[in-house]
Amino acid sequence: MGNPSGFLKVERALPQDRDASSRLSDWQEVHEHMEEAEIQQQASRCMDCGVPFCQSAVSKYAPAVAGCPVNNLIPEWNDLIYRGRWKEALESLHKTNNFPEFTGRVCPAPCEGACVLGINADPVTIKHHEVAIIDRGFEEGWVVAEHPKARSGKTVAVIGSGPAGLAAAAQLNKAGHLVTVYERADRIGGLLMYGIPNMKLQKELVQRRVDLLTQEGIVFVTNTEVGKDISAEKIEQNFDAVMLCVGATVPRDLQAPGRDLTGIHFAMDFLHRNTKSLLDSKHKDGDFINAEGKNVVVIGGGDTGTDCVGTSLRHKCNSVVQLEIMPQPPGARQNNNPWPEWPKRLLIDYGQEESIAVQGKDPRDYLVQTTKIEGDENGQVTAVHTVDIEWERTPEGQMIPKEVVGSERVHSADIVLLAMGFMGPEKSLVDQFGLEQDARSNILAEYDKFATSKPGVFAAGDGRRGQSLIVWAIDEGRRAAREVDAFLMGKSYLP
């Protein structure tokens, strides 16, 4: 521990965000940069505690209990930052995380939720230190392609190029296998490319990492949907092992009268088309769902819903509201939510900040249930009808919503975006491979083994565990790569 009194003397601080109103005129990252001396001062707050809860998470208890799923060596690289040994910090970080430039930007930081300092003070700014290390590494030219020392001659197909697929491909390539990644979209990255808006993750950063992986020998095949453009059978014939990292891409739908009206879209369709049009033509092609001048209703209160709010505001929508069926979280951690559980408290994310700046209020409306959607004579959506609810426990212990009498409201709507989460992987591909599924429709494969019901076919990421965090996807991709390596070679030396 470089500064034994750092956590006593230094208050938590993060880089300033760009002005919430002015940043709506572009699609650049929200955050400003912090000076090196300030980052080192923040790193001095790390206590090097006897048991660093920050750097470990147990899949069985996730997401209730916090901690880093990829087991980042957090106290180690915090100390190295404090001492100015940035290159060594980068080497330490890359031991456990293939893509810290992604997690350092879009991970909700379960590591900070488990920080021991967080018991009675503000936790260490771990997430910001992570991105500071990797950004410094790229700036200094320390991050370069690393080719495997030898090739095994074994071939692996990775289906899906999201965080789990990229992590699995990177690790399998390091083991010397010949890896081909199949992606049905026109760009590599999956959720990283088209599911997360530019203001949270610039696509140049995704492409930069993909270019490095290409230099290291990984083959990427875009515009190719396995199960449609190439059969599952052919994939199995052409490769020694197959890794399915297809994600949980089936969106949860809304069961309400009027669902079939024009102007109702799944959130991921809205976000995907926006980013693709932005990258293809800076929106000049018009091939996106444009919220300009429209009243937008977002149904769903999570990160995807917030991304819809931020995107709609950048389109210069007339108004945007975000409807959430769950209660508003408390302002601070409660007694029934003790450390090191993930702290359940109200957060103001970038989209809400921007709404407050433009509309004068937080767009979120809690404990609200949609009862019906209204349209005009042309079948175009015009309004969303809601009712307030209270959650009640049944005699069997199940929590159910109960409508509050007289609380009916009508929200004007030209566009309705459904951001209510995801149900699991698409069934057609799972059926083509002939795989078993669990009770939640995910691909059946045990964590830390990742073998499906068919020999030689493995699964990792959201398609196996269900909708989750990017950092858990990277963890699964790395762990599954080790299992595939052992399947091919009899044993594995991958971390």
pLDDT tens per residue, range 120-160: 999 999 999 999 999 999 999 999 999 999 999 999 999 99
Which position has the higher pLDDT, 301 or 378? Answer: 378
Q: How confident is the model at residue 487 (pLDDT cuts 50, 70, 90)?
A: very high
Contact criterion met (CB below 8 Å) for 343 and 114: no
Give the pLDDT confidence score for residue 341 in this predicted structure: 87
**Residue found by looking up tokens 């875009």 in the block:** 222
pLDDT digits (tens, 9 = 90+) for 97-125: 999 999 999 999 999 999 999 999 999 99
What is the mean predicted confidence (pLDDT) over 342-359? 95
Q: How confident is the model at residue 301 (pLDDT cuts 50, 70, 90)?
A: confident
What is the mean predicted confidence (pLDDT) over 58-67? 79
What is the mean predicted confidence (pLDDT) over 347-367? 97
pLDDT higher than threshold 90 for residue 271: yes
Tokens of 28: 């650049």
pTM of the shown model = 0.96
- What are the residues whose beta carbons fall under 8 Å from the beta carbon of 425, sequence distance 6 or more? 244, 246, 247, 248, 249, 250, 441, 442, 443, 462, 463
For the chain, the average pLDDT equals 96
Q: Which domains are seen in the chain, by residue range?
A: 6-140 (1.10.1060.10), 155-249+423-489 (3.50.50.60), 253-420 (3.50.50.60)
Q: How confident is the model at residue 1 (pLDDT cuts 50, 70, 90)?
A: low
pLDDT higher than threshold 90 for residue 2: no
What is the mean predicted confidence (pLDDT) over 28-36? 95
What is the mean predicted confidence (pLDDT) over 186-202? 97
Share of the chain above pLDDT 90, in %: 93
Which position has the higher pLDDT, 338 or 258? Answer: 258
pLDDT digits (tens, 9 = 90+) for 232-247: 999 999 999 999 999 9
What is the mean predicted confidence (pLDDT) over 432-460? 97
Give the pLDDT confidence score for residue 65 in this predicted structure: 78
